[in-house]
Amino acid sequence: MFKFWAFLNRMKLIKRWSLMYSVKEENIMEHSWQVASIAHALALIKNKIYGGSVNVEKTVLLAQYHETGEVITGDLPTPIKYFNPEIRDAYKDLEKNSCERLLKMLPTELESEYRTYVLPDTNSYEYKLVKVADRLAAYLKCVDELKSGNKEYKKAMTSIKAELNDIRLEEVKYFIKNIAPAYELTLDELD
């Protein structure tokens, strides 16, 4: 079990790749925390505002572990990762194998409990919320970089925002309308 946690602890040391210059570096642990926070909000919005029945705890845990494979593989920039189906599929296999390797480091009694979150059911609603939360985190990263004067993220922000606007989930629309604009404010404007 020690090896599993030692590998996860590396998350805070591994920087996320980007083809673009970043004013603010981000590591996997920070990214995973942000995605978990966004996914939590999406699940709560779905349940409390739109009468859904999303498993909030499952959603947050899926988000917490959604980049686990990258502890071994590192991240691949989106344009490369999705350049063609062969690269996409090869990278997904590599990530899956990395997750399997990490799961084997756990005591047998705990492996199945973690497997649920490290290698999740990709058809579950909770998983879909995590995928959207990951895109929202990418969008908010663009917002943050642009606020810092880094114009390299302008095209990416426009592209991701269009992608998010095409998602037909009411909780996503709510987040974009009511929560995302706060990320554009300065500290003084938050008063």
pLDDT digit string (tens) for 46-63?
999 999 999 999 999 999
pTM attached to this predicted model:
0.86
Q: Which of 67-76, 84-93, 134-143, 148-157 has the lowest mean pLDDT?
A: 67-76
pLDDT digit string (tens) for 5-16?
666 666 555 555
Band (21; pLDDT cuts 50, 70, 90)? low
Q: Which of 13-17, 65-69, 184-188 has the lowest mean pLDDT?
A: 13-17
**What's the mean pLDDT when you consider all of the chain?**
88
Please say whether the beta carbons of 35 and 66 come within 8 A: yes
pLDDT > 60? residue 29 = yes
What Cα–Cα distance (Å) separates residue 150 from each residue in 22, 64, 138, 181? 7, 28, 15, 18
Nearest to 35 by CA among 10, 17, 59: 59
Question: For position 174, which CATH number holds?
Answer: 1.10.3210.10
The total domain count for the chain is 1
Distance CA 50, CA 9 (A): 37
The domain of 136 spans 2-190
pLDDT at 12: 58
